[in-house]
Amino acid sequence: MRAVIVAAAVAFIISLFGTPVAIRVFTALKAGQPIRGGLGLASNQGKKGTPTMGGVAFIVATVFAYVAGHVALTTLPERQIAQEGPTMTALVLLGLFVFCGVVGFLDDFLKVRRRNSDGLSAKGKLLGQLIVGTGFGVAALYVASTNGQTVASEHISFIRDISWLDVGKVGSVIVFVFVIMAMSNGVNLTDGLDGLATGASILVLGAYALIGFWQYRHWCGDTDYARANDYCYQVRDPLEIAMIAAAAAAACVGFLWWNTSPARIFMGDTGALGLGGLIGGLAVSTRTTLLSIIIGGLFVIITMSVVIQIISFKTTGKRVFRMSPLQHHFELAGWSEVNIVVRFWIVAGICVAIGLGLFYSDFLAVMG
């Protein structure tokens, strides 16, 4: 537990005090956010030129915090059932965070360089996500620990693996890639109002920190616990999962101090794609793939608003919403930016609470 707290504290401090440095650096480099004109959105007024690529701050903070967490592990009893060096789970999760962030960074860089909102093409962005997802999906399914455990499973999971939904390794890699791409694009679509995606991500990452730590306390890898109990979680390196999720959540809290309205820096696609990739990786590694649809419910709702809008317009020529993603529909309906953000955070919190409730109720049902 103390190692998780150390990682979270280090991430928060680095992000809180590192983000102003990022603001000054990106301002000096004139890496301001280009704003697409003609949309009629109140939130666009005065935002042109605000530094972007802020996701670099919390990604770097999380990586350093993970290292600090492992330093703490070397002096704690917890090291007896946790590897002291980087595990494959950590490499997959942090790799997704960093390299999905790199795809987003390329998009942000092109926007800044061209001084318009056209970065990577949609195909280029999807291709980048596909390459990253496939690479780490193969690592998650084909690289096993000494006891044969892999980061991801060959089964589709809800709260744990569903035994009759065995899709094999190739099928699992495909599912892995789909989850990473869906989550990264979901967080990216949610970004757009000051603090909206950051706050929602904090809630989701916090939920996965709790899930990871709960699985660590009831882990099949803990032989003392496994011998004494009929039920344990078949996951790989749950303490690593808890540390990374807690560190990322805390780093986002530090970033939110500067990203909340009026934002002094935007996370950009760097942060949004990175966060989505990490959340997707957490879902797969904790064997909660389908549960992530509920835990990340706000991202799903906003993504579906875009899908519904596109289908409706292409089939009927009519729009269901004034504008998509959904947050902009409410802007055009006259809601203030802060009202939308706070209410969407409430929706995200409700989704997280339902997801955690289902997770814990499953544990009670099995143990009871």
With b for 16 or more beta-carbon neighbours within 10 A and e for fewer, the 259-281 pattern comes to: bbeebbbbbbbbbbbbbbbbbbb
3-class DSSP state for residue 340? helix
- Mean pLDDT of all residues belonging to the chain: 90
Q: Which of 5, 9, 44, 12 is nearest to 256 (CA)?
A: 12
pLDDT in tens, 90-127: 999 999 999 999 999 999 998 888 776 677 888 999 99
pLDDT of residue 314: 93
The one-letter amino acid code at 312 reads S
Distance CA 178, CA 54 (A): 26
pLDDT of residue 121: 84
3-class DSSP state for residue 165? strand
pLDDT of residue 25: 93
Q: Which of 260, 274, 230 is nearest to 63 (CA)?
A: 274
pLDDT in tens, 137-175: 999 999 887 667 899 999 999 999 998 999 999 999 999
pTM, two decimal places:
0.94
pLDDT in tens, 167-192: 999 999 999 999 999 999 999 999 98
User: CA dihedral in degrees (66, 68, 70, 72; nearest 10)?
Assistant: -140
- Residues 6+ away with beta carbon under 8 Å from 299: 183, 186, 187, 189, 190, 200, 204, 276
Structure confidence at residue 80 as a pLDDT band (50, 70, 90): very low
- Residues 6+ away with beta carbon under 8 Å from 175: 156, 167, 284, 289
Distance CA 147, CA 236 (A): 10
Longest dimension (CA), the chain: 65
With 70 as the cut, is the pLDDT of residue 249 above it? yes
Could you tell me how many residues make up the chain? 368
Task: Report the Cα 273 to chain-centroid distance in Å.
Answer: 8
